[in-house]
Amino acid sequence: MTGAPAAGPNRAPRRLGPFGVPAVGLGCMNVSHAYGTPPSAEDAAKLLLTALDAGVTLFDTAALYGFGANEELVGRVLGPHRERIVLSSKCGMTGVDGRRVIDGRPETIRRTAEESLTRLRTDVIDLYYLHRLDPAVPVEESVGALADLVAAGKVRAIGLSEVSAATLRRAHAVHPVAALQNEYSLWTRNPERGTLAAARELGVALVAFSPVGRGFLTDAPPDPAALPAGDIRRAMPRFGPAHYPANLALRQELAGLARPAGLTLPQLALAWVLSRGEHVIAIPGTRSTAHLRENVSVLDLDVPAEVLDAAGRVLSDATVHGARYAEATLPEIDTERCGAAG
């Protein structure tokens, strides 16, 4: 936060390719996509500007989010502050005729980049990810297209999302990869099966999305029965009736660790993610300015190692109940699997 003392171990900037950014950024998807009816344009703009005022510099969007609407929002609201932010977006998974389509062909990547530049109101995207690996296109071809965008001055650095360590290495051999954005939290440990270590070895930032478990690791966890139509959690087994009660019991144990340490549950969850390595950056999403400030506050917290270790034992891939995605979605994800947890 602007003017805040450098008190916590996470306050120092972390490397993201050629950039130095605070360890907590903002995932912008929530205000346009995947979680039911989006907030008003005014409330969404207020959230982005509050993040900027709180010292957030990394803003993460994608062509998919709201089928372009999120990029348009980010471009409109943050365009006047372009020099203060690190702007990241994604290609390779977009909305086509109302459907989500994975397409990593070079010609599609080039076209999507031009569309994104227009919506974002900028002439260069700081960090441009391949949102999903297209199984019909070798990753080398997709990354080659991203490299061409760097050479053309339209992208400054490239990244990958939801891929394995093996795919990361293949991509990195074609062009340096600045960031790997995979889901990582107390209850999603897939990066520990390979990508966490591979990213560290290659000098790649691991950007953790959904670090508070899609709202599960907050002080007001969602009620699955009350989720609106279109909320992606309705199709996720962990939020289903067969698994959610057992997961809530684990969450209560975590809350019992957080309270005596003077922490909220999301602060504990974020501190745990950031403790996994100095190359790890978290991008929690939210629609609440209060939650946003709570997330950023973790930068100034010094959480005892024994509390973090205990949290990691209470909730892990060995204790969580249910897969993170439905069976129909898992084939789209290239990351290492965590047994029954997906």
Encode pLDDT of 151-185 as tens digits: 999 999 999 999 999 999 999 999 999 999 999 99
- Structural domain total, the chain: 1
Above 80 in pLDDT, residue 81? Answer: yes
For 284, the domain range is 14-216+267-303
Q: Looking at residues 211-222, what average pLDDT do you find?
A: 95
Query: Is residue 251 a part of any domain in this protein?
Result: no
DSSP strand E in the chain: where? 14-16, 19-21, 26-27, 58-60, 86-91, 93-96, 99-102, 125-130, 155-161, 177-183, 205-209, 280-283
Return the pLDDT at 5. Answer: 40
Return phi, psi of residue 64, to 5°.
-70, -35
In a domain, 188, yes or no: yes
Residue-wise pLDDT for 225-257, tens only, equals 999 988 999 999 999 999 999 999 999 999 999
Residues annotated as part of the active site: 65
CA atoms within 13 A on the CB side of 40: 3
User: What is residue 9's predicted lDDT score, i.e. its pLDDT?
Assistant: 76
- 284 vs 330: which has the higher pLDDT: 284
CA separation for the pair 198, 201 (Å, rounded): 5
**CATH number, residue 104:** 3.20.20.100
- Is residue 261 assigned to a domain? no
| Long-range contacts, stretch 97-102, CB < 8 angstroms, 24+ apart | 98/67, 100/64, 102/131, 102/132, 102/134, 102/332
In tens, the pLDDT along 92-136 reads: 999 998 889 999 999 999 999 999 999 999 999 999 999 999 999
Q: How many CB atoms lie within 10 A of CB 83?
A: 5
182 with 209: CB under 8 angstroms? yes
Q: What is the pLDDT of residues 262-288, one digit of tens each?
A: 999 999 999 999 999 999 999 999 999
What pLDDT digit, counting tens, does each position of 27-63 carry? 999 999 888 889 999 999 999 999 999 999 999 999 9
pLDDT band at 340 (very low <50, low <70, confident <90, very high): low
Give pLDDT, residue 270. 98
Q: How far apart are CA 244 and CA 62, in angstroms?
A: 29
The answer to whether residue 332 sits within a structural domain is: no
Q: Is residue 157 part of a domain?
A: yes
What would the mean pLDDT of 66-91 be, rounded to a whole number?
97
Three-state secondary-structure class, residue 79: helix
- In angstroms, the CA 74 to CA 127 distance is 14
Q: What pLDDT is stored for residue 272 in this prediction?
A: 98
Which residues is 16 bridged to in the sheet? 19
- Residue 309: inside a domain: no
